[in-house]
Structure formats: structure tokens, C-alpha cells
Amino acid sequence: MDFSITTEQQALFDSMRKLGADVVAPGAAERDREGRWDREMWAKLASAGVAGMPIPEEYGGSGGSILDCCLVNEALAQGGHDGGLGLSLGAHWVIGAVPIWLHGSEELKRTWLPGLCDGTYMGAWASTEPESGSDAASFRTTAVRDGDEFVLNGTKIFITNGPIADVCNVLARTDKGPTAFCVDTRTPGFVVGRELDKMGCRSSPTAEIHLQDCRVPASSILSIEGEALWKVAFECFDWERTVMMAGSIGGMRATITEAITYAKQREQFGKPIAHFQAIAHKIAEMEINYHACRNAVYKAAWLKQEGKEHQLEASIAKAMVGKLSVENALESVQIHGGYGYLKDFPAERAVRDSKLSSIGGGTTEIQKMIISRLLLA
């Protein structure tokens, strides 16, 4: 069994961790407080090749594998410790650009991918609706054919990058069934609604989207009309369960580092609190959780990359990260004592940011449903 990464991948990881520390970390607390996406930061990341990481070079991307994407998202989170950046970047990559690359026509690829890769465009995905969350197949947005066009009507909610996206992959139901449309967000009838005020990952903008007689060309269909669930959505969710979770484990690493630094420097009863076994064991438990999650996420990503069956491992990884990342963040707050309860340290933000891992892209309950179905089949 080979757990090593190549020298190039290690160099990529190190350079991305440094980029995270230099470019993402400095304004992270402020962006969280203000709930603000930073376009300048995004431009700097894009110029380092981050925005187009999973997309082949012929479309302007960096041609990274799924493992490379995991390493980059993990490294940026480790260095930058901003859950919102991981969320927006993950959505831009795996549910924004990747479906266009894997399922779009050559024309769609040439129209959107170069801009998505150089950071000019931002990508998004809209499947969730007010009445259709975990039951993702029950969405009601309709797409009615009219000549060479489809007319979209419906409401989407929780759309990551909704307020800043230039292109959004929208799930709508035609008379043939669930269909994915690659929609230019400037299209009349594509209306960005209320921006959602979130508990965590606040530097990532989230919105409702209203489709009001939004006319899109039939050529904007991704994959085959009526087959979006199996051919497009479930594949994206695989990427989501690995690449997005890699960002979360980068956050777990940063949380441990911050807890260790504080425990070594904070003194009570005449010595650093790290010298008390109760605190040292908390750090050991956090490290155990981190290793278990990291191994689970990279195993799922590796299986996916090798084209092997990976559904069980991907759901296990997501369920583990959903639970243990929050557990670690709460322990970090505890190690920081009263100061951990303040916004002066990143520990409380880590609690709020990490909570999304058990909800977005399929809740922990749904992961357990998938795991148990596979076992009981």
C-alpha cells in the first residue's frame, strides 16, 4: 500500500499552504465579521492557477487530478483558515466548472472554461429548492421547450456563489425528466434574490435564485436531457464529498496548530496549560480525529481517481468529517478557555465554519442512509 504523494504534489501543497497564509489568512476574521467575499483575494489566487485547478490545460486550467484538488483545498485551508474560501472555491470547481468540462458541449466549454480558470468568471450550482433539500430528486423547477429554447421557472435556495456567479448550472425538470442547464447569470429572468445571512463560512456569499421565464438555449443542456441526476448531479456530489471535505481537514489541521500554540503559551498554576494531562490529551484526541478524517478523505479521492467503486468510502469520509471537525473545533474553544469564546481567536469561527460539513452537499443523516443501504442491500 502506497500512501506517498509525488515530489511535485508536495511542492504544490507547500506553495498553496504559503499562498493561504499570505493571501487568505490576513483578512479572514474581518471577512467573517462582515460576511464579505473578497474579489481581490480571489484574483490573487486565480493568478496562481487555483481557479482552474481541475480543468485541463487546453481550456486554460491547471490540469490537476482530483487528488491535486484535494491537496490544494486542504493546503489553502491549512494556511488561510477561512472556511468560506474553501466553500466558494469548492463550489466554483466541483459543481461550477467540472460539470461544464465533463458534460458540456465544446461550445459551452470554450465559452465558459477559460474565464472560470483565469478567475474572470465565478461558477455555481443550483439544485436545492425551498421544498427539496435532502430529497434532491423532488425539485419542482420546470423547463418548458419553446423551439430552440427552454423556459425555466422556479426558486432555488442556498446557492453558494449565487450573488457573484457568472455561470450557474441549474437543475430543472423538462417533459423528459431532470435536466441540467448551464445558465449565463446575465440572462433576463435569472434573478438573484435574498442574500442569506449564515452562521459560518460567512466570507462565501449564498443566495436564493429566482427563475422567472428565464429563456436559455437548448444547447446549454449538460449531458443528456432528462438524465441529469445520474449523469451530472451524482458525479458532482462525489467530487463534493472529497474535494470539499479536504478543505475541512485543512481547517482541522489549522485548528490543532492554533490550540497547540495557545496551550504552550497560556500559563495557569505556574506552568503552561499544555503541561496538564487533561489539555495534552485533548490535543492528542484532536490529532487522532484529524488523521482518521484525512485518511478517509484521501482514500475516497484516490478510489475515485483510479475509477474504482468509492461511494461507501466517500460517504464514510463525509460523515466522519461532519462529526469530528466540529468536535475538534469545540475542543479548541475549550483549550482557549474564556478567550476561545471570544472572536479574538479563530477557535469560535472554526466551530461555526466546521458545522457546515455535516449539512451542505448531503447531510450526515443522508450519508448514513447511503452507508446503511449499501451494507443492507
Ligand X SMILES: Cc1cc2nc3c(=O)[nH]c(=O)nc-3n(C[C@H](O)[C@H](O)[C@H](O)COP(=O)(O)OP(=O)(O)OC[C@H]3O[C@@H](n4cnc5c(N)ncnc54)[C@H](O)[C@@H]3O)c2cc1C
Based on the residue annotation, tell me whether 208 is a catalytic residue of this protein. Answer: no
Q: Does 122 help bind ligand X (rule: CB under 6 A)?
A: no
Choose which of 49, 61, 360, 370 interacts with ligand X (CB under 6 A).
360
Footprint of ligand X on 330-359 (CB under 6 A):
356, 359
Question: Which residues, numbered 130-149, are part of the site for ligand X (CB under 6 A)?
Answer: 133-134
Number of residues located near ligand X, criterion CB under 6 A: 22
Instruction: Report how far residue 43's alpha carbon sits from residue 52's, in angstroms, rounded to the nearest whole number.
Output: 12
Distance, in Å, from the CA atom of 204 to the CA atom of 52, rounded to the nearest integer, reads 18
**Grid coordinates given for 112:** 465558459
159 scored as a contact of ligand X (CB under 6 A):
yes
Among 73, 128, 169, 328, binds ligand X (CB under 6 A): 128
| Contact string 69-108 vs ligand X (x = CB under 6 A) | ----------------------x-----------------
Conformational region of residue 266, where left means phi above 0, alpha means psi within -120 to 50, and beta covers everything else: beta
Q: How far is the CB of 125 from ligand X (least distance, A)?
A: 5
> If binding is defined by CB under 6 A, does position 203 make contact with ligand X?
no
Burial (CB < 10 A; 0-12, 13-18, 19+), residue 239, is buried
Cα distance between residue 108 and residue 217, in whole Å: 11
220 vs 259: CA distance, rounded Å: 48
Under rule CB under 6 A, residue 195 binds ligand X: no
Residue 174 vs 358, nearer CB to ligand X:
358
DSSP letters spanning 166-217: SEEEEEEEETTEEEEEEEETTSTTEEEEEEP--SS-TTS-EEEEEEEEEEEE
Contact in structure between 84 and 31 (CB atoms under 8 Å): yes
Q: Which three cell numbers stand for residue 149?
A: 429554447
| Catalytic residue, candidates 74, 225, 227, 240 | 240
160, 203, 220, 311: which one contacts ligand X (CB under 6 A)? Answer: 160
C-alpha cell at 130: 425551498
Q: What is the DSSP letter of 242?
A: I
What DSSP letter does each residue of 312-325 carry, written as one string? Answer: HHHHHHHHHHHHHH
Residue 314 binds to ligand X (criterion: CB under 6 A): no
247 Cβ contact partners less than 8 Å away, ≥ 6 residues apart = 73, 74, 76, 77, 83, 86, 87, 89, 90
Closer CB to ligand X, residue 42 or residue 125? 125
Closest CB 148 distance from ligand X, rounded Å: 27
Cβ distance to ligand X smaller for residue 127 or 289: 127
Closer to ligand X by Cβ: residue 88 or 282: 88
Q: Does residue 179 bind ligand X (CB under 6 A)? A: no
Region near ligand X per CB under 6 A, out of 140-148, 152-160, 208-216, 249-257: 152-160
Work out which of 342, 365, 372, 373 binds ligand X, going by CB under 6 A. 365
Q: Which residues are catalytic?
A: 240
Q: Which residues bind ligand X (CB under 6 A)?
A: 91, 125-128, 133-134, 158-160, 198, 201, 206, 356, 359-363, 365-366, 369
